[in-house]
Amino acid sequence: MKAVITVRTKKYSINLNDALDISMPLKGDKSNVNAWYVGAPVIEPHTDGDFVGLVSEGSSVNFNNISFNPHAHGTHTECVGHITEKFVSVNQKLKQFFFLAEVITIAPEKIGDDFVISKKQLQYALGKKKREAVVIRTIPNLEDKIGAQYSNTNPPYLLEEGAVFLREKGVEHLLIDLPSVDKEKDDGKLVSHKAFWNFEGKIRENATITEFIYVANTIEDGTYFLNLQVAPFENDASPSRPVLYKIEE
């Protein structure tokens, strides 16, 4: 099935049958991706007295409880409520779900003991392109990212200058395959989060950051349509499933 989407009077054709999922699955064990010093997510049958929510144990249905943290356990989309005293829900702020997106691949550069994504790298990758969303794949890009244990590993991150560049370029939705756009241990400064959301100015409440994506190597750099859907949690962040669609000529 095909669809035609109009952005600023220009029409684009996409094939809805050719979806490229860039989310990570959530698994209830230690093989699940993990960060921020929390235990693994848990998916287990609900029990109540003699009731066990498993068909294999005699129940009429499978009836699981799920315990996880959206920031630590997989693909999630967050709004500025992640860093504000006032409660702000991503479910209330994200009301549009299709965006013109650019997929770029960047090899973080080493500065001191850190690997970082710089403004210069983003400038080179994006050039003069104007996009509503930017999807950043970092290399090396091995499948073990899906089960990586990031706590206390000082993963790569985005420099503040890069976040400012993306904000000033008009990028509303930033997606990245890392646990965070900020350094793992930065004394709570969160400079890239704050820069992207313009925290010290007119806050961009409709802008989002999606972390822990996984962009397979079979997906080429270039322009796509992004369908960014979140579970309707009233929370600063929610599990999400970003899906890319190739644009047909």
Mean pLDDT by 10 residues, the chain (249 residues): 73 91 97 98 97 97 98 98 98 97 98 98 97 98 97 98 98 98 98 98 98 98 97 98 93
- pLDDT value of residue 157: 98
- pLDDT value of residue 212: 98
Residues 6+ apart with CB under 8 A from 70: 76, 78, 233, 235, 237, 238, 239
Task: Let me know if residue 47 belongs to a domain.
Answer: no
> Residue 138: which CATH number?
3.50.30.50
Our count of domains for the chain comes to 1
Residues 6+ apart with CB under 8 A from 9: none
Task: Let me know if residue 175 belongs to a domain.
Answer: yes
**Cα dist. 57→21, 61, 65, 66, 85 in Å?**
34, 10, 16, 19, 46
Task: Let me know if residue 37 belongs to a domain.
Answer: no
Task: Let me know if residue 199 belongs to a domain.
Answer: yes
Task: Let me know if residue 145 belongs to a domain.
Answer: yes
And the tokens for 80?
Answer: 């500025």
Which DSSP state fits 30? Answer: T
Task: Let me know if residue 58 belongs to a domain.
Answer: no
Task: Let me know if residue 44 belongs to a domain.
Answer: no
Which range marks the domain in which residue 165 is found?
A: 2-25+70-248
